[in-house]
Amino acid sequence: MGKSKRHRKVKFGKRNNDLDAFGKSGMKALPKNDRFITDRHSSRFEIFYRTQGFIPEEEWELFLKHLASDLPQSFRFVENSKEGTVALQMFKEKFLSKVTRCTVENEDVIVKIREINWRQTELQSLHNFLVVETACGILSRQEAVSMIPPLFMDIKSHHLILDMCASPGSKTVQLIEMLHADGEALPTGFVIANDLNNKRCYLLVHQSLRRSSSPCCVITNCDASQFPDVFMPDKFGKLTKLKFDRILCDVPCSSDGTLRKNLNLWKEWHVNQAYALHRLQRKIVERGLHLLATGGLLVYSTCSMNPAEDEAVITQILIYSQGMYIN
């Protein structure tokens, strides 16, 4: 006998005639045919988020317009280093005024194939500068919103920090820089940067260790939801369970907040992706809370706009724990 409907697997991003995007809520079923989805449009996405009601009706069209626009390139100079200060000053003096005066083609103009030497020399020299400084570890290509979570952590040089889902490592580099913010002396704290994927851990080594050149970072390859207890010797040589002063939970998510750069998500988006990840996200946060020192700070972040991955995760944690975890 075949499996009943409730046991059928749902393949995200593909048509599924048994489920609508709202499960069995009785709400209006979403379109189930890929013909409803264009490059930067998804009827399923729009119906779901419009139904949530947290975007004011008068801002809805503006919201969609911004989602359909290209994401600006952003980068960050390394803080608290002489090289970073010099590079930033060089950027301001040599490139900033020239680039802001460049005339960029209107987005409505048809793109034509053209020879490379037709490009504006100001932009080419800026490109070369960015490539060189990135390779030297002076500059990090990082989206502006990605820079925000570490800023909430109030990092001090003595803090023991855990980045539970660290790859690709841009936030980890930020944490390391903040750890070194006091000056030349080595901090007494450190960062443990963890990721489940072995190949991504190699990327972390490049991003966090080779580029930052800090001895205060360790890379681990563990399931964040089951991150093991860490033991360190105290001043008497006795092994004691380590508790972290700061923990960053930048958890795996459906990433629908990255639609502006990941255009394939328009076609692949399905609300079941968020629902499937909710339990894992909650488990990672719960494990983080068990590893957190009394008086410590845990920051939770995602790349998703879905309440099931954001507010609902934190709400479930608060309800389950009654505001307290016993370590």
**Residue 303 annotated as catalytic:** yes
Neighbours of 95 (CB within 10 A): 16
The b-or-e profile of 1-10 (16+ CB within 10 A means b, else e) is: eeeeeeeeee
Query: What DSSP state is assigned to residue 276?
Result: H
Residues 120 and 175 occupy one common structural domain: no
| Residue range(s) defining the domain that contains residue 39 | 22-67
User: Is residue 223 a known part of a binding site?
Assistant: yes
Q: What pLDDT is recorded for position 119?
A: 53
Residues 211 and 266 occupy one common structural domain: yes
Residues 51 and 134 occupy one common structural domain: no
Per-residue tokens: 238: 């006795």
Residue 326 counted as domain residue? no
| pLDDT tens-digit series, residues 158-188 | 999 999 999 988 899 999 989 998 877 889 9
The CA-CA-CA angle for residues 158, 202, 156, to 5°, reads 10
Residues 35 and 99 occupy one common structural domain: no
User: Is residue 108 a known part of a binding site?
Assistant: no
Prediction pTM value: 0.76
pLDDT band for 77, please (50, 70, 90 cuts): confident
Domain end (from 141, 175, 194): 141
Residues 215 and 301 occupy one common structural domain: yes
Lowest-confidence segment of 61-70, 80-89, 184-193, 234-243 by average pLDDT: 80-89
Residues 58 and 196 occupy one common structural domain: no
Backbone angles phi, psi at 245, to 5 degrees: -75, -35
Total number of residues shown for the chain: 327
Q: Is pLDDT of 24 > 70?
A: no
Average pLDDT value over all residues in the chain: 80
Does 254 or 325 have the greater pLDDT score? 254
| pLDDT tens-digit series, residues 222-247 | 999 999 999 999 889 899 999 999 99
Percent of the chain past pLDDT 70, that is, above it, reads: 78
User: Is residue 195 a known part of a binding site?
Assistant: yes
Residues 175 and 310 occupy one common structural domain: yes
Q: What pLDDT is recorded for position 31?
A: 52
C-beta of residue 132 within 8 angstroms of C-beta of residue 90: no
Residues 302 and 206 occupy one common structural domain: yes
Domain end (from 141, 164, 194): 141
Q: What pLDDT is recorded for position 125?
A: 77
Does 119 or 200 have the greater pLDDT score? 200
C-beta of residue 173 within 8 angstroms of C-beta of residue 208: yes
